[in-house]
Amino acid sequence: MSPKRVSCWAALGLLLCGCALALQGGMLFPRETPSRELKALDGLWSFRADLSDNRLLGFEQQWYRRPLREWGPTLDMPVPSSFNDITQEPELRNFIGWVWYEREATLPQRWTQDTRMRVVLRINSAHYYAVVWVNGIHVAEHEGGHLPFEADISKLVQSGPLSSCRITIAINNTLTLHTLPPGMIIYKTDTAMYPNGYFVQETSFDFFNYAGLHRSVVLYTTPTTYIDDITVTTDVDQENGLVNYQISVQGTEHFELEVRLLDEEGKVVAQGTGDQGQLWVPSAHLWWPYLMHEHPAYLYSLEVRMTVPAGPVSDFYTLPVGIRTVAVTESKFLINGKAFYFHGVNKHEDADIRGKGFDWTLVMKDFNLLRWLGANSFRTSHYPYAEEILQLCDRYGIVIIDECPGVGIVLPQSFGNESLRHHLEVMEELVRRDKNHPAVVMWSVANEPSSALKPAGYYFKTLITHTKALDPTRPVTFVTNAKYDADLGAPYVDVICVNSYYSWYHDYGHLEVIQLQLKTQFEKWYKTHQKPIIQSEYGAEAITGFHQDPPLMFSEEYQKALLENYHSVLDQKRKEYVVGELIWNFADFMTNQTPLRVIGNRKGIFTRQRQPKTAAFLLRERYWRLANETRYHHSLPKIQCLGTRPFTF
Ligand code: GCB
């Protein structure tokens, strides 16, 4: 075995044992296969907010015991969606506490009668804390609003002559000092100013705390002996690809596994047996970001077939696999050994009416806009996005910095053991869910924590070490706005991701100071840490249609001019050690109400309705120019800046 292969195996070993630290079982994306069926429960659910003073009436009366409508009036609530903006009720928009969702699901007879079938309820995102009952029986509980959880409900649905089941989900959006993101409930006790029992939710992050069932709820089946998890890491040895796999099976000790890797034409290029192994792919097609190769985003399919000895095939699962490597040097970010420059955006899962609810229409519009812009990457600011979005990035060759919901960690109390323990768990859930996506090239464990506070050193050392143990194949970062010489977490990151808002949050209106301040920022950070740097946020608000020349704050001209000043320094420093620039933000988004926000944050280069502001055209020109310049593959035809390119998604 070559040393490279040994290190690859060691990496996979760590990845697997890391994942096994606390979590039980895998979290494979539910797919239909010859052995698995799927039933999405999207659509209208019954809904009721618990408006009682202590918000606990639903638990006291046990609303899960009987249909929700029997306890009082219910609303029809679309899933997936945030509940906040669906009605005209201010009380619901700003509601804090428990809301109840309920849906009756009709099950195919096979599912309820065939005891060799396992029926699983999966909730892809319930923000923030969820308790789940099926037919009045408690089946699951989960903390954290952005990652999936499941319950095996086979016994419940197979125990009687049932053809349907009643699913009840209670969700609480309250954020405390130890949740992720953290928040605080403040009781206002001055009776001269506030009514009795008055409280508000405070947060230190800049987006609206939308809540509800934000992604699909699905029921799916597997055989009772089933493929529980697959972990793939890849490496490259000259022109050959290496695919290391590890498969876990549940339900039996005695099984056989066959693994085949198919290329895009459906031809088998490698195969293996057993629950772990290495596939050797001669003359492999590597997974490249789009704009870096004439055939980007190449995906193989890893077909896994499980049988019990001498029995029929009992379970199938197919996983898309991209063969690629990621590495970081003192001044470069490498994908497949070639320097990669991030020219992209920060996003939010956010839109009119649906809030953070998953919506294919919006998702496709956003991908088309990313492509129009020539953006080659984005950060999932400030929480994990829907898996479907990651799958599209794999297919389209768009690179992702995958961020956990560690945003707004600013008070000392949020650096204690309780917070750290939960943060470690969330990283485990995130790595478990997203480890196999070639598009994910780096983990971000937090955004703008108070990383100059004393406990931050230990906190980030532990968090980053743990994340690296979970996945030694990807670099780890967190996004900072601390001073280069005060940041206690920076020594542990692989890439420095720094946010700055020169001439916006200070030196208002003084565009002329940006270049000096930005140059100093880069030079100080690099001198202190000798690590590649990404300008992970920069931007200015512009209210679409506001024009002012010479530029004034909030006009489209000011936003554009501010970006141009940043670009001029970025153009110097990207020749040295700056490896990326991500604009804040892709689109305007909803925030809490404050005097600093005009119906949300307006730093989008697109409006919330996805119409371009002047700055979008500037960035489009820049990104396509960067794509042409940084393209290493000189035989490619020049990419047109404003022309149409064939859509090869
Ligand atoms: C930041 C935050 C981001 C905010 C942005 C702003 O530094 O990371 O969540 O929305 O600034 O516009 O203030």
Confirm or reject: Cβ of 601 under 6 Å from ligand 1: yes
Confirm or reject: Cβ of 603 under 6 Å from ligand 1: yes
Q: Are strands 333-335 and 326-328 parallel, antiparallel or unpaired?
A: antiparallel
What are the tokens at 488? 């206690």
Residue 162 CA to residue 108 CA, distance in Å, equals: 10
**Closest ligand 1 atom to the C-alpha of 539?**
12
Residue 302 CA to residue 317 CA, distance in Å, equals: 8
Residue 209 CA to residue 360 CA, distance in Å, equals: 21
Confirm or reject: Cβ of 403 under 6 Å from ligand 1: no
**For residue 632, what pLDDT is reported?**
53
End-to-end Cα separation, the chain, in angstroms: 37
**Alpha carbon of 648 to ligand 1 centroid (Å):** 34
**Alpha carbon of 584 to ligand 1 centroid (Å):** 7
**Alpha carbon of 206 to ligand 1 centroid (Å):** 6
Residue 323 CA to residue 280 CA, distance in Å, equals: 11
C-alpha to C-alpha distances, 229 to 226, 234, 391, 440, 626, nearest whole angstrom = 9, 17, 17, 18, 39
C-alpha to C-alpha distances, 639 to 169, 289, 378, 392, nearest whole angstrom = 50, 15, 21, 22
Q: What is the mean pLDDT of each run of 10 residues along the chain (649 residues)?
A: 40 46 87 96 98 96 98 98 98 98 95 94 98 97 98 92 88 97 97 95 97 98 97 97 98 95 97 98 97 94 93 89 98 97 98 98 97 97 98 97 98 95 98 98 98 98 98 98 98 98 98 98 98 98 98 98 98 98 98 97 98 98 90 49 38
* Three-class SS state of 534: strand
**For residue 310, what pLDDT is reported?**
74
Neighbours of 88 (CB within 10 A): 7
Q: Return phi, psi of residue 624, to 5°.
A: -70, -30
From its phi and psi, is residue 72 left (phi > 0), alpha (psi between -120 and 50) or beta? left
**For residue 645, what pLDDT is reported?**
40
Pocket mutation for ligand 1, best pick of 205, 206, 497 (most atoms within 8 Å of C-beta): 206
What are the tokens at 178? 């130890």
Cα 204 from chain centroid (whole Å): 20
**Alpha carbon of 249 to ligand 1 centroid (Å):** 43
**For residue 631, what pLDDT is reported?**
64
Q: Is the peptide bond before 550 cis (omega within 30 degrees of 0)?
A: yes
Residue 239 CA to residue 336 CA, distance in Å, equals: 11
584's CB contacts (< 8 A; 6+ apart) are 346, 499, 537, 538, 539, 603
What are the tokens at 334? 């490498």
**Closest ligand 1 atom to the C-alpha of 479?**
8
Residue 163 CA to residue 27 CA, distance in Å, equals: 27
Confirm or reject: Cβ of 588 under 6 Å from ligand 1: no
For residue 107, give the H/E element and its range: none
Residue 610 CA to residue 589 CA, distance in Å, equals: 11
Q: 118 and 196 in contact (C-beta within 8 Å)? A: no
Q: Is 258 a catalytic residue?
A: no
Q: Return phi, psi of residue 169, to 5°.
A: -130, 120
Q: Is the peptide bond before 343 cis (omega within 30 degrees of 0)?
A: no
Residue located nearest, by CA, to atom 5 of ligand 1: 206
| Angle formed at CA 125 by CA 123 and CA 128, multiple of 5 degrees | 115
Residue 291 CA to residue 377 CA, distance in Å, equals: 11
* Three-class SS state of 559: helix
Q: 380 and 414 in contact (C-beta within 8 Å)? A: no
What are the tokens at 508? 């208002």
Q: Which of 448, 541, 556, 581 is catalytic?
A: 448
Tokens 């009119």 locate to 352
Q: 404 and 426 in contact (C-beta within 8 Å)? A: yes
Residue located nearest, by CA, to atom 9 of ligand 1: 206
Among residues 142, 132, 184, 170, the alpha carbon closest in space to that of 55 is found at 170
Residue located nearest, by CA, to atom 3 of ligand 1: 206
Most distant pair of Cα atoms in the chain: their distance: 79
Residue 358 CA to residue 354 CA, distance in Å, equals: 8
Residue located nearest, by CA, to atom 13 of ligand 1: 206
**Closest ligand 1 atom to the C-alpha of 381?**
9
Q: Return phi, psi of residue 114, to 5°.
A: -90, 105
Among residues 448, 384, 491, 485, the alpha carbon closest in space to that of 584 is found at 448
Confirm or reject: Cβ of 537 under 6 Å from ligand 1: yes
**Closest ligand 1 atom to the C-alpha of 481?**
7
Neighbours of 155 (CB within 10 A): 12
Residue 504 CA to residue 105 CA, distance in Å, equals: 51
Q: 131 and 170 in contact (C-beta within 8 Å)? A: yes
Q: 466 and 15 in contact (C-beta within 8 Å)? A: no
Tokens 């029926």 locate to 119
Confirm or reject: Cβ of 448 under 6 Å from ligand 1: yes
Among residues 549, 420, 398, 531, the alpha carbon closest in space to that of 477 is found at 531
C-alpha to C-alpha distances, 53 to 49, 88, 130, 187, 189, nearest whole angstrom = 12, 21, 20, 13, 15
**Alpha carbon of 192 to ligand 1 centroid (Å):** 35
Confirm or reject: Cβ of 50 under 6 Å from ligand 1: no
